[in-house]
Amino acid sequence: MSDRAWGVGTDSPSCDPSDADTAHPAELRRLLEASTDPHSRGAVVVAGAPGIGKSTLLDQVARRVGASGGRVLRAGGSPSEADLPFAALHQLLRPVAGVITELPARQRTALQAAFGSGTPGDPPDPMLIGVAVLTLLSDLATGAPVLVLLDDAQWADHASLDVLAFVARRTGDDPVSMVIATGEPAALPDLDGHWTSLELAPLERPAAERLLDRLPRPPAGETRTRVLDQGEGNPLALVELARTAGADAEPWASGNPLPIAARLERRWVERLNGLEPAARQWLLVLALAADDPAETVLTLLPGPADRMWAAVEWAGLVDRTGSRVTFRHPLVRSAVYQSASFDERRAAHHALASALTEDPDRRAWHLAAATTGADPEVAAALEDSAGRARRRGGYAAAARALERAAELSADRADRVRLIAAATEMAVMTGQLVRVERLAARTRAWTDEPTPLAVAALQTGRLMALTSSQAAAFQQLMAAARQLTTAHPEGALQALAAAAVVRFYSGAESQRDEIGAALSDVLRALSATSVPLLGRWLMAVADPPGGAGLRAELAQLITAARQRPEELHLLAIAAWILDETGLAVRAFEASLALWSSAGPLPDGLGGVAALAHLEHGRIARAQAFCAELAAVADTYGLDHAAACAAAVDALAAAMRGDAVNARELAERALSLIDPAESRSVAVYAYRALGISAAVTGNHEDAYARFRAAFEVDGGPVHYHASVAALPELAAAAVRSGYHQQAADVVERTVRSGETHSVRTQVLIHHSQALLADPDYAETHFRAALTLSGPADRPFEHARILLDLAEWLRRRRRIAEARPLLHECHDVFRRLGARPWATRAEAELRASGAQIAAAEPAAFGELTPQQQQVVRLAALGRTNREIGENLFLSPRTVSSHLYRAFPKLGITARSQLRDVLDTAAPSDVVTSAGSRGSRPRNVAR
């Protein structure tokens, strides 16, 4: 029927638009300020009970912003689309779909894949989808401010909400604001501190009076009093009661214990019962359809001129504007659904499924809703829908479809297989509660050890990124024990994940438990030699025990040059075994080949950053940290966020940015239990110690470095603590704790472990700083002989500086000068300003000439501005820089605008003249621009 080009949705009660001014004037002002004031723009969550006026408030904000020349993008969540990935985002961006084609190629491809268009391929990277939307909104905001409105967010799909949360954190200088309205704040993902919460309360009596006065026929006298009493300050209830006051046979009773929403629904149900059965069924079809029904769905309904619509409009259930028909409120939709019998609902779902033959995902869900018992065909349709959702990056939708498919599966083995697949998809959402619920369903459906252990393994992996490391370890070890006999390969995977937890926790008991369990697994495998994964996990859990693997790393990495997962594992092992240069090369090779395997970071997500940091690629390390932090923020992975912050703090401290380093380190410590995540804690302590040392507070520096060691001088963490030895020694010499530091160093020497070459360097360096003058040089020379300047340039340059200072104090100036020049060049190249300044002072004291330094102003830029400037100096465009650093192009432009005057330049072409570009490898693109993030180790 050609006359059915009309829309159906859910709107607020049909009051005068200015009702928002009267009902919630203060809240309206706050939203307008957040939407229009350049200094107050932000993201706001508007919460409140049904009928409290959220949608009306959004209407008014949209009207005001639109009238002032702003662009408004608006969408509404819908129960029928809650399980369709990126449905709300697609609705938001549909009016500006043409702009998508103007995005950079990778961003355009990712966004098109999310919307189910474009060339099929690997699932799009969720971070890249977020960057694409950020860039798109930034481009739209070039001509006018942009306001993003999402109503009924409690029914929006998870994937869309994740993207909006990502964008809200990064709009920066863009004139882009967001308002999300929800009746159920708890149903939303964690939106963190970037969102302002605005709770709409019931109207005070004077405001309720004013609302009634603005109605076309305000109630008066006793009727007015009854409306005010029974409306309880709820605008929708007030309007509905006033609209039909005296017409209903049974008005609400005062003091009714039912909440307003339930009483409104009951009132509308009474009106529904007065309609013809056919009208009720048509309304039910509308209630079950999307807010913007497809043309095929409209063929199930009478035309706009049919007398039925006049009847339902007269009943106060719908509003008509031209050819558009809308439910008067979401509660009307709910009332229509709740008042229908099961057979009526089932018939409506079947009718919609029959009409939606060109939309297999919606069709599958309507069939599922109409099915009560087992139905293999519907289960298969849902499994297919889950596959499409996964390919679009909609992991929450995929998990829900697989779970429902499991419920409809007739075969027990299929049911267990599907719930296991649902659990794996749920892991990708980062929602531990969802994963634990699905694991519980697995336990309820089977007592077979293998699927139970796999569910425990999935839960443990996510726990390691989000919560207690001790609990995660126990979960993973239980899975390993259960899998040892029936599925030893799976047990090996569980032990690999447990080894990751052992690295973070540093608990010695965990090393022994892993070793014993590995022996059992190897017996079950009947292996004649230990598989590579087994050797890897022991190197991670016990580096001295992995010494045999160290000798083979170079050969193994060469052999794995086309296998990115294996390269990544070997890179981690190389770093933990102190082969830093080899680790960096393997990381780069793996990232160049990687294809997407899901949004979550590798279980040792910070290792690539640490390896690059040690290797002197500080900006590259910060880029890894930025990506890990972005993923962690988006998915609520507190432990991963702590790891990113701690490593980033170390990078900031090395460059002399003490304030930023302290903030990052303190954030890292706030997100973890230092007793359970010793490695992250030690990185944070080191960053705090370095920050204190470069500001001259050596007593505080000593205390921070000493926190990396136990009371008896043993390491807090078996791998992370040893790097703090020279720093502890240097702070001790300057603060009067010489003997205490010497005891800690001696405790390390006497540990009885086989020390790596790097550990020997760190011990000799520490001993040189603490030794009597007559013996110091021997240790300095030993440290330099063993140190690899190419592998760990910062550590090597610090030995050079300390030795040169020692030589100059003994008037051996000729010997000191070349060392000072060498370390000064390294510090300048790395941007390690405090140490470069020390080297310059020593050079001047030795009478040497010093080359012009890097502009001091560069060091005064924020870390993010420094990253932007370095990438711009390499010729990257604002869009490319934004994609690398998860910023909008406008924010990149703002950083450059602020940096140019500080650097004394006026053009982009001058950046190369003022920056030291001797180490271009330090400013390559972030991990995300060369491949997708590595998947969870041993996933």
Give the tens place of pLDDT for each residue, 616-638. Answer: 998 889 888 988 888 888 888 88
137 in Cβ contact with 176 (< 8 Å): yes
DSSP 373: S
890 in Cβ contact with 140 (< 8 Å): no
pLDDT for the residue 752: 67
Among the listed residues 628, 640, 602, 562, the one whose alpha carbon sits nearest the alpha carbon of residue 928: 628
Cα distance from N-terminal residue to C-terminal residue, the chain: 52
The mean pLDDT value for 120-136 works out to 86
Rounded to whole angstroms, the Cα distance separating 255 from 748 reads 74
The mean pLDDT value for 893-916 works out to 81
Other C-beta atoms within 10 Å of 585: how many?
Answer: 18
Confidence class for position 754, pLDDT limits 50, 70, 90: low
Q: Which of 226-240, 693-707, 814-828 has the lowest mean pLDDT?
A: 226-240
Q: What tens digit of pLDDT does each residue of 453-504 get?
A: 888 888 888 888 887 888 999 999 999 999 998 889 989 999 999 999 999 9
65 in Cβ contact with 146 (< 8 Å): no
What Cα–Cα distance (Å) separates residue 815 from each residue in 66, 404, 823?
Answer: 72, 75, 13
Confidence class for position 596, pLDDT limits 50, 70, 90: low
At 241, list the tokens. Answer: 């009661």
Confidence class for position 327, pLDDT limits 50, 70, 90: confident
The mean pLDDT value for 680-685 works out to 98
The mean pLDDT value for 441-447 works out to 90
Rounded to whole angstroms, the Cα distance separating 11 from 328 reads 5
200 in Cβ contact with 24 (< 8 Å): yes
Look-up: residue for tokens 């909104």?
137
**Dihedral sign from CA coordinates of 92, 98, 103, 109:** positive
What Cα–Cα distance (Å) separates residue 516 from each residue in 243, 509, 760?
Answer: 75, 11, 29
Among the listed residues 576, 603, 575, 670, the one whose alpha carbon sits nearest the alpha carbon of residue 469: 603
The mean pLDDT value for 34-47 works out to 77
628 in Cβ contact with 609 (< 8 Å): yes
SS3 317: coil
Per-residue 3-state assignment (H helix, E strand, C coil) for 590-644? HHHHCCCCCCCCCCCCCHHHHHHHHCCCHHHHHHHHHHHHHHHHHHCCHHHHHHH
688 in Cβ contact with 665 (< 8 Å): yes
b/e sequence 594-616, b meaning 16+ C-beta within 10 Å: bebbbbbbbbbbbbbbbbbbbbb
Residue 75, H or E segment:
strand 71-76
Considering only residues 831 and 382, tell me which one the structure prediction assigns the higher pLDDT. Answer: 382
The mean pLDDT value for 76-91 works out to 91
Determine phi and psi for 43, rounding to 5 degrees: -120, 130
The mean pLDDT value for 61-69 works out to 91
Those residues whose C-beta lies under 8 Å from the C-beta of residue 686, and which sit 6 or more positions away, are 650, 653, 704, 705, 708, 723, 724, 727
Rounded to whole angstroms, the Cα distance separating 627 from 872 reads 19
- Order of strands, edge to edge, in the sheet holding 176-182? 71-76, 146-151, 176-182, 43-47, 195-199
791 in Cβ contact with 578 (< 8 Å): no
- Order of strands, edge to edge, in the sheet holding 324-327? 8-10, 324-327, 318-321
What Cα–Cα distance (Å) separates residue 111 from each residue in 99, 249, 498, 571, 658?
Answer: 11, 54, 35, 31, 39
Domains of the chain, with CATH numbers? 25-202 (3.40.50.300), 858-915 (1.10.10.10)
Name the burial class of residue 118, with classes exposed (0-12), middle (13-18) and buried (19+) by CB atoms within 10 angstroms of its CB. Answer: middle
pLDDT for the residue 756: 86
Those residues whose C-beta lies under 8 Å from the C-beta of residue 94, and which sit 6 or more positions away, are none
828 in Cβ contact with 853 (< 8 Å): yes
Query: Would you tell me the crossing angle of helices 678-694 and 638-654 to the nearest 10 degrees?
Result: 30
pLDDT at residue 575 is higher than 70: yes
Mean pLDDT of the chain: 86
pLDDT for the residue 15: 44
Look-up: residue for tokens 């039909």?
244
DSSP 321: E
pLDDT for the residue 604: 79
At 562, list the tokens. Answer: 């086309």
pLDDT at residue 133 is higher than 70: yes
pTM over 0.85: no
Confidence class for position 856, pLDDT limits 50, 70, 90: low
Give the HSE-up count for residue 837: Cα atoms under 13 Å, Cβ half-sphere.
11
pLDDT for the residue 14: 42
Rounded to whole angstroms, the Cα distance separating 200 from 448 reads 50
pLDDT for the residue 852: 53
622 in Cβ contact with 863 (< 8 Å): yes
Torsion from C-alpha of 846, 847, 849, 852, nearest 10 degrees: 70
108 in Cβ contact with 130 (< 8 Å): no
pLDDT for the residue 931: 44
The most distant pair of C-alpha atoms in the chain lies apart, rounded to whole Å, by 106
Rounded to whole angstroms, the Cα distance separating 757 from 783 reads 10
Look-up: residue for tokens 């980033």?
648
Residue ranges of alpha helices (H) inside 636-677 are 638-654, 658-671
Those residues whose C-beta lies under 8 Å from the C-beta of residue 88, and which sit 6 or more positions away, are 75, 76, 77, 81, 150, 156, 157, 160, 161
Confidence class for position 13, pLDDT limits 50, 70, 90: very low
Query: Would you tell me the crossing angle of helices 793-809 and 773-786 to the nearest 10 degrees?
Result: 150
What Cα–Cα distance (Å) separates residue 79 from each residue in 104, 152, 592, 859?
Answer: 33, 9, 41, 52
Highest mean pLDDT among 91-100, 220-229, 282-291, 309-318: 91-100
